[in-house]
Structures are given as C-alpha cells and as structure tokens.
Structure 1
Amino acid sequence: MKRICSFLLCLGLFFSQTSLVNAGNNKVNLSISKEISYYGEVLNGKPNGQGTMKWGAYKSYLGSWKNGKRSGYGKFVIIDYSQAEKDFDGRMDNVRTTTYIGQWNEDMKNGEGILTDKVNAFHSGNQDDLIQKGQFKNNVFIKGNEVHTYWNNYSDFLYKDDSINVSFQTSDDIQDLYQDTYNLDYEEFNDLEEIIDYGAYENLTFQSKSTGITYKYAHLLDNEYGAFTITRTKYVNNKMVEELVTDAEVDNINMSREIERKLQPYLKGFELTLKMLYQ
C-alpha cells in the first residue's frame, strides 16, 4: 500500500511540474503600455519563447525571447513615415523601412544577420538604400558585406573582417543591373565585374589591419584621347610612402590584372548582397 501511494505521489508531482512548464509556454496577450503589446509565450510574466511585440503600428519584432528580451532568431521592422508624402499617383513617397533578420542576444543584434534600410522614392529621387550582411556585435556591424546606394546613382561597397577592409565606389546606376522593375535600355554594363574591368570605380582601397598597409587605386580616363592612367598609392599607418602612375598600355594591363586579382574574391559577395537589397 505504501509503494502504491509513493508511486501515485511521484506521478502527481510529475504531472504537476509538467503543467507548470507548459503553463510558462502558453501564448498569451500582454499589454505592456498604451502603445506596446505582446502576444506569445511567457514565463514569470515576461516574454519567453516565441512571440511578437508591437510598438504602435509601425514597429514590430517577431521571433525568440528570453526573460523579456529579444534573444535568438527574429525579425525586427521599423516603418518611418516622418518624411513621407503622397506623389501624383496617390502613392506614399519617401517611406523608409528598416528591417533586421537574424540573431539577437540581450535585446541587441548579435551574430549572423541581414540589415536593410530602404526608401521607396517613386518620384522624389531621394533614393537611399543600405544593406549589411554578415556578423553583428551589440548592434554594430563588424564583419561581412555592405552596399549603400544613393539617389545620384553612386554606390558604396565595403567588405570588412578582422584582417582587412576592401571598399570602392561606383558612379553608374548599379541598382538597374539587379532589379527587374527597371530594365533600362541604356545599361552599359552587365554586372559588377564589367564595371571594375572598365575602370568605372573610385576610391578603390585595400586596408590590411594586421600590417597597417593600405593600397588605394584611382582610374583616370582622358576623354579627349580615350586613354587612361591608373594610380596606385601605398600608405603605411596612414602615411603615404609610395605612388605609382601607369600610362603605358602594358603597364595599365598589368595594373588592371593586379586589381582584378585582388578584388575577385569579393565581387561575388558584393553582387549577391546587392541582389538581396533589390529582390
């Protein structure tokens, strides 16, 4: 009889503990303030597990929580109408949408993720789009590819990690190459590699963090004669120590091959990142 009672007592404790665990994971509605609401799993009255929090109508997070903080994988979206206005077609112009999809810890971006910041400038021309794809630490982008395109057709490209920064700028309408909504007839290039081969870049920089050595390349075209020169400047700890200017055809070809060799490992990553921005 004592053994039966002990068994039933243990069984009762098991189901009691199981019920408490499940109760902590039930989805509930929480009204945190007048503007902030949460629906999802909770533990001890705080978001814990999977859930969605909304800060008014234009800010939300959907994903994992731990002890009331964003932790794990999730999607965070902010829609900014502060500069918005209707265009002549009745569409809202100049609406900025910032989205982060990836890992979180302690309410901050930590780990692998993709951050996009886009303005839907239909007619205003205030195009200003950014994408960062790689690793974040305490909300700071620390490793990976970054592309920033502007209304004047300029685009900044950056790759960085613990050992190197690689960056350059193009002045051609690069976004037209990577989104189907434009398909303009006057496109001069088919991809980013052709732009580099043609020399349509500015401020091409390779900065080694371990050695302190930086190389900067400038491609200058003489419109009158159709010739071009390439300047390579070397810096050590931000101090210029060497400058080489090529003007002969053979030297230009050799310098172009040097640039292509250095950039080749990064071009595919830039192209994939740019496509993600305009997919």
Structure 2
Amino acid sequence: MATRLHTYTKIMLTSMMIATSIGLFVPTTYAATEKESIQLSGRASYYGQVENGKPNGTGTIRWGDSKSYAGQWVDGIRQGTGKYVNKYTVKGRTFVVTYKGEWSKDQRNGLGEVRQIIKNKAGQTEANLIQQGQYENDIFQTGYTVTQALADPPFSFNYKDKDTSLQIYGDNQNLAEYWATGKLVQIQYRKGKIDKEYSIFPENNATKKVENQANLKYFKKIQPQVATYLKTFQTLSTKVPIASK
C-alpha cells in the first residue's frame, strides 16, 4: 500500500511540475500505473504510464535522436501539458525547436511557448526566437514573437490577435522612447481598418515622405495603447541572446 501511494505521489508531482514550468496548471489526474517501455515503430519508443497497450498518463516518446515529447497522454495521443523538442540539420545549420505548453487531440492547443535556436556550421547562434501565446490546431493564433539574429537590425518584434498586427524592426533598447522619437527602423501597425507604416529610411517621393511623418505622429499619439506590447517585447528580448559556441 505504501509503495502504491509513493508511486501515485510521484506521478502527480510530475504532472504539476510540467504545468508549473510554463505558468499553467491543468488539474488532470490519472490512475496510478507502473511505467512501461513500448516500441511503437522502428524509430519511435515510449517509456511511461500505459493503459490497454497505449500511452496513458505521463510519459516520454522519442523518435530516434532528433524528436521527443515528454508530458501527458490520453489513449495514445498527447493531451494535457507537455514539452516537444525537434532537432535537425539543414545544409550544416542546426535547428532546435521546442514547444512547451498545452496539447489537445495530439496537437498544440491552448497556451504555450515556442523556442527556436539556429546555429551555423561554426556553432555560433545566428538566430534565437521566442513565441508565447495561444495555439489552435498547431497554428499560432494570438501572442508575441521576438527574434534576435545576426542581422541589421538585430531584433524583430511581433504581436498579433484576431484584430491587431504589430511588427517592429530595430534594437531592443529604449523601445518606448524610440517609438515616440522615430528611431525604430520600421513599424507596421494594423488594427481593424487602420493600416499604417513608418520607416526610418528617408523617402525619395515627397508624398511618401509626408505620409511617413504623419504616421509617426499617429504612432506617438497611440503610444499609451501599445505600451503593454512594447513592455512585453522588451522583456522577451532578454530571453533570446546571440552567443558564441
């Protein structure tokens, strides 16, 4: 009896730790079962809780050395919270993509976070991305995406929901100040029927130059409305460093 209680406690703590690590808690409970190893296919192996020959509860599946999912399962499909990792190489560049968050019907559904790191042949990180928000049927629907890359400008910031799209290119220093003073390289803002764009680069066309300055004045006017976006961009930008190998 004591052994069964200990096993059940470990199972529940594992589920809670997965959810807590991304700021979520899904009060899903499973019957306490012993963990088993299953060879699902030539490359796919599973270790975890099993019911009727299928993953059920918590466990980890690995597809060779390149892909894995660790988290919750219901009747053989990913359901609940978990972490998916995919590592692959294309023309000498290494990609590591991670999703940590909610799953439903074997797809990303709910709140989650994607991280993507791209390294070149020398092992140097050339791009680092973080994406946080709401996913539906494996598609990112609402939230924030911030990327730092070995590029000029180094940062791109994006927020989107069903009504709003904000894209900024520039640096991650003093975003609020640069928004108001026109020091950001480019701003693209769409909300409902509003569609405006500003660029730091001078326009050769006089009409375009006037429009560019008018849009900058508009952006200064709506700064209180975008303050939350800018603050979140600033915070997320610290989580995507570009570092040497």
TM exceeds 0.5?
yes
SS of the residue 1:196 aligns to: helix
Residue 257 of structure 1 aligns with an amino acid whose one-letter code is K
Shift of 1:167: 1.4
Residue 167 of structure 2 aligns with an amino acid whose one-letter code is S
C-alpha distance in structure 1 between counterparts of 2:96 and 2:162, whole Å? 30
SS of the residue 2:36 aligns to: strand
Counterpart among 163, 170, 184 of residue 201 in structure 1:
184
Q: Does 1:97 align with 2:81?
A: no
For each residue in 1:99-128, what CA deviation from the matched residue of structure 2 results, as whole angstroms up to 9, or x when unmatched? 000001111100000001111348577713
Q: Within 5 Å, give how 1:11-90 maps onto structure 2.
A: 25-84=33-92
Shift of 1:157: 1.2
Question: Radius of gyration: which is bigger?
Answer: 1
For each residue in 1:83-107, what CA deviation from the matched residue of structure 2 results, as whole angstroms up to 9, or x when unmatched? 33xxxxxxxxx32110000001111
C-alpha distance in structure 2 between counterparts of 1:129 and 1:216, whole Å? 25
SS of the residue 2:65 aligns to: coil
Long gaps (5+) in structure 2: 1-29
Q: Scaled by the length of structure 1, what TM-score is found? A: 0.65
Long gaps (5+) in structure 1: 1-21, 85-93, 175-189, 223-228, 233-242
Would the aligned equivalents of 2:147 and 2:240 in 1 still touch at CA under 8 Å? no
Q: Does 1:275 align with 2:238?
A: yes
Residue 219 of structure 1 aligns with an amino acid whose one-letter code is I
C-alpha distance in structure 1 between counterparts of 2:65 and 2:144, whole Å? 31
- Match of 1:235? none
Shift of 1:142: 0.4
| 1:216 to 1:81, Cα distance in 2 relative to 1, 3 A | closer
Would the aligned equivalents of 1:102 and 1:114 in 2 still touch at CA under 8 Å? yes
Would the aligned equivalents of 1:116 and 1:131 in 2 still touch at CA under 8 Å? yes
SS of the residue 1:25 aligns to: coil
**Matched pairs, number:** 209
Shift of 1:245: 5.3
Q: Give me the CA root mean square deviation.
A: 3.1
| 1:196 to 1:38, Cα distance in 2 relative to 1, 3 A | same
C-alpha distance in structure 2 between counterparts of 1:218 and 1:95, whole Å? 33
Percent identity, please.
29
- Match of 2:136? 137
Residue 158 of structure 1 aligns with an amino acid whose one-letter code is N
Would the aligned equivalents of 1:76 and 1:101 in 2 still touch at CA under 8 Å? yes
Q: Within 5 Å, give how 1:142-153 maps onto structure 2.
A: 142-153=141-152
SS of the residue 2:238 aligns to: helix
C-alpha distance in structure 2 between counterparts of 1:23 and 1:192, whole Å? 50
C-alpha distance in structure 2 between counterparts of 1:144 and 1:23, whole Å? 35
For each residue in 1:214-272, what CA deviation from the matched residue of structure 2 results, as whole angstroms up to 9, or x when unmatched? 122233469xxxxxx9x79xxxxxxxxxx64549xxx98x6563253343221111122
C-alpha distance in structure 2 between counterparts of 1:245 and 1:47, whole Å? 57
| 1:32 to 1:24, Cα distance in 2 relative to 1, 3 A | farther
SS of the residue 2:165 aligns to: strand
- Match of 2:221? 258
Q: Does 1:119 align with 2:127?
A: no
| 1:214 to 1:245, Cα distance in 2 relative to 1, 3 A | closer
C-alpha distance in structure 2 between counterparts of 1:59 and 1:166, whole Å? 33
Q: Scaled by the length of structure 2, what TM-score is found? A: 0.73
SS of the residue 1:201 aligns to: coil
- Match of 1:128? 127
Counterpart among 213, 216, 219 of residue 197 in structure 2:
216
